[in-house]
Structure 1
Amino acid sequence: MNNHASINADLWRPPEAAQVIFSDEQAISAASAVAALALTDAATRDRDRIYPLEALSLFSRSGLGSISVPRAFGGGGLSYRTVAEVFRIISAADPSLGQIPQNHFGLIQFIRDEGSPEQQKTLFKAVVEGQRLGNGGPEKNTRHTREVHARLRQHADGLRLTGEKFYSTGALFAHIVVTTAINDEGVAVMAFVPRLAAGLEIIDDWSAIGQRTTASGTVRLQEVAVDAARVIPLPATDRPSLRGPVSQLIQAAIDAGIARGAFDEAGEFIRHHSRPWVDAGVERNADDPHLQADVGRVYVELTAAEALLRRAAKTLDDIDPASLNAETAARASIAVAEAKVLTTEVALKASEKLLEWGGSRATLSEHGLDRHWRNARTHTLHDPVRWKYHAIGNYYLNGIFPVRHAWI
């Protein structure tokens, strides 16, 4: 089901009274409210591919979109640990909703790291007012995710951007679409473009088995006018940055949320809807000792993954941006990679075990339980865990720092 037609211009008008959140407790409370709203019809929306517009609007109005904007620019200036917890809470209810602002926060970090003071002032003001940043993401028919064919060219009347993007999570719901291109000097840059700019088209063609309501499809740009003041060059890949660790921390938080959501729904289904195996000799499936042991194993893995997520966030929080160097950036990347390994694995395991524990009736479409595994499998493909293991091993064994980009 394509519900693009249900999205009207109101979606792209910033909230009239977006709040600013200044405390961790307020952020967690707001995230819990968004999650509660999203959970009420999460299975139905996944089945019918209905976007979580009401919950997304609440996310923006409540001020969650600016919690990582520095206080000097009017934002909440909250910790990475709180950011990760916000994403984990929301993604436990609906990971598609959790993923929609994923790139919004990655872009906030990019602006913090690379934007000029004037760009920071202008763009952060928009974010604090409730505007959402969307990702005109990697391109579909390239050799790898970092190859860019889009071009930003200087014309007599100014800069014009032409290209086609895919994996554009959040773009359909954004006020500002942010995309990479190569300029006339051959330099890769990030361009910030108003969502309703002439020549910018977003095609609702995302068809993945999971994360079905992120609208992570195609963005087409045909001679789109770009304000030179809203163009930020991408940094050299060897320059220390927290952009990669912050982006990956949010990815890991979404996966941790998927795992927690699947585990919690598994408990409900086991207790209230499943029946025991014939040889178990018990009245309730929840009293099967083998199942209890299996649930216990997954719970330990889940809590370990959540603990590593919190530890990774603390590693980021403990870094003084003014003294960021190759060593501290590498330490941040490795800490997040360790969390990403476990959150990926437990998201897949918990969502698959949910079906095993519930028995054949757990696969009935009326329950929608398969969405957990489909979401886990789809979202965890953003970056392969085998390369996380490689980076971790090479770091501890040989002291080799991981490469610098948005996926490590």
Structure 2
Amino acid sequence: MSTAALTIDTPPERIVAFRAPPLRARHAHVIKDDAEALVVARRLADRIAVSAIERDRERRLPFEELDWLSDAGLLAITVPKAYGGAEVSSGTLAEVIAILSEADGSIGQIPQNHFFILHALRLEGSEEQKRFFYGRILSGERIGNALSEIGTKTAQDHNTRLSKDGPVLRLNGRKFYCTGALFAHWVAVVANDDDGRSTISFVPRETPGLTVIDDWSGFGQRVTASGTTTLDNVEVHPFAVISLRAVFDRPTSMGPVAQIMHAAVEAGIARAALKETVHYVRNHARPWKDSGLDHGYEDPYTIAQIGEVKIRVSASDVLLERAGRITDVAVADPTVETVAAASIAVAEAKVASTEASLHAGSKLIELAGSRATQAQYGLDRFWRNARTHTVHDPVRWKYRAIGDYWLNGINPPRHGAI
């Protein structure tokens, strides 16, 4: 949806100029390539992990940590090279998300919709929109989401409306699961326009009528601030609107790119749970009295089960890396066949990471023993985070899509949830 299409009948004297908010004041580094992105992600993950237990326990929202990501340039790594960015591969993007999620599942999830919206801009934005919004992202600005709603028939249906009001547009509605909106400079709002077409509006966070409410109470992913956003006659300039429907009307890499990041969140949580299991069993777990052993880590049943968890986590990692390579083919050459292949590869990775994260989080408590349930250790957060995030898109439907593809040659649906 271009500016021209929305203002073509508006007299020139009534066309409202796009008024952008001031640029973010803090300096942001610009990452140059995939290798640097991974180095920066690992460095930041080390800092983030230090206070992960306290953040979760106290529900301390990560405003400072999100600024770290912005300052380091990590939130601009998908900006195309033509616009000054690193344009990292899908595999690198997924690995960055996994690295952050291993440190803190909530912080790993928060950028997911930021990158989702940037990919939609890449596919459907005008040249002017790309130059403007990519420039803002390179300066360290963040995009939060206002996509889903409660009370609609499905999570993909929207009651929020974007309506013409003379030379501008108006948003009205109520959103939930607005991950990252509380920390954002821009809120990406999905709404249907006057013709029923799904759109994305880029709305500055401080726009009158846009209210982000900190009412997320999930038992996991506690500091994602994935609560409510209300929109009361919010003014939107046509320049700040792109079509969401268009990115799914034709074969594009939108779905696989969206979903590989969800798989990466769970892969990172699985890695963290396994790492914590090994540490705790090695240092604290006691042997069962009938074993005749001196240390918990000598228990053959414990050893075998840690081996099983490791296999699941490794399989998840391998499928994630494979999905990244196949998704990059769809990014470079989006056809019915390449997009379907990428969607299925990502679905396979998502199934594996879902199962690995839930299994690893549960086995951590079982193998570490009763003492591990004490709140001071925060070891329950891995399972809680995994269980909360893994219900984002039901894997039972992914099993069916995978089976239909390999057994019957039927391509999966083209949307952001497969």
TM-score (norm 2): 0.93
Query: Residues 356-393 of structure 1: CA distance to partner in whole angstroms, max 9, x if unpaired?
Result: 00111110111111111100000000001111111100
Q: 2:89 & 2:147 partners in 1: Cα distance?
A: 26
Matched, 1:351 2:361: yes
Contact 2:266 2:353 in 1 (8 A): yes
- Percent identity over the alignment is 48
Aligned with residue 395 of structure 2, among 365, 381, 385: 385
Matched, 1:17 2:21: no
**What residue number does 1:288 align with?**
299
Note the 1:1-400 alignment, pairs <5 A.
14=24, 16-156=26-166, 158-236=168-246, 237-319=248-330, 321=332, 323-400=333-410
Query: Residues 282-319 of structure 1: CA distance to partner in whole angstroms, max 9, x if unpaired?
Result: 11111111100110011011101100000000112234
Q: 2:312 & 2:92 partners in 1: Cα distance?
A: 22
Tell me which moved more, 148-157 or 299-308: 148-157
3-state SS in 2 of match to 1:189: strand
3-state SS in 2 of match to 1:366: helix
Contact 2:172 2:233 in 1 (8 A): yes
Letter in 1 for 2:168: G
3-state SS in 2 of match to 1:89: helix
Letter in 1 for 2:315: A
Contact 1:269 1:358 in 2 (8 A): yes
C-alpha change, 1:138 and 1:313, in structure 2 (3 Å) is same
Q: 2:114 & 2:287 partners in 1: Cα distance?
A: 45
3-state SS in 2 of match to 1:152: strand
Q: 1:14 & 1:250 partners in 2: Cα distance?
A: 26
Contact 2:280 2:368 in 1 (8 A): yes
Letter in 2 for 1:249: I
3-state SS in 1 of match to 2:134: helix
TM-score (norm 1): 0.95
Q: Displacement, 1:15?
A: 5.2
Q: 1:131 & 1:144 partners in 2: Cα distance?
A: 31
Q: Displacement, 1:147?
A: 0.8
Structure 2 residue ranges without an equivalent (≥5): 1-21
Letter in 2 for 1:263: L
Query: Residues 195-237 of structure 1: CA distance to partner in whole angstroms, max 9, x if unpaired?
Result: 0100000000000110000000000010001010111112354
Q: 2:100 & 2:23 partners in 1: Cα distance?
A: 23
Name the count of aligned residue pairs: 396
Q: 1:135 & 1:292 partners in 2: Cα distance?
A: 43
3-state SS in 1 of match to 2:233: strand
3-state SS in 2 of match to 1:232: strand
Letter in 2 for 1:312: A
Structure 1 runs of 4+ aligned residues shifted over 4 Å read none
Contact 2:252 2:331 in 1 (8 A): no
C-alpha change, 1:14 and 1:354, in structure 2 (3 Å) is same
Q: 1:317 & 1:182 partners in 2: Cα distance?
A: 30
Q: 2:330 & 2:256 partners in 1: Cα distance?
A: 12
Structure 1 residue ranges without an equivalent (≥5): 1-11
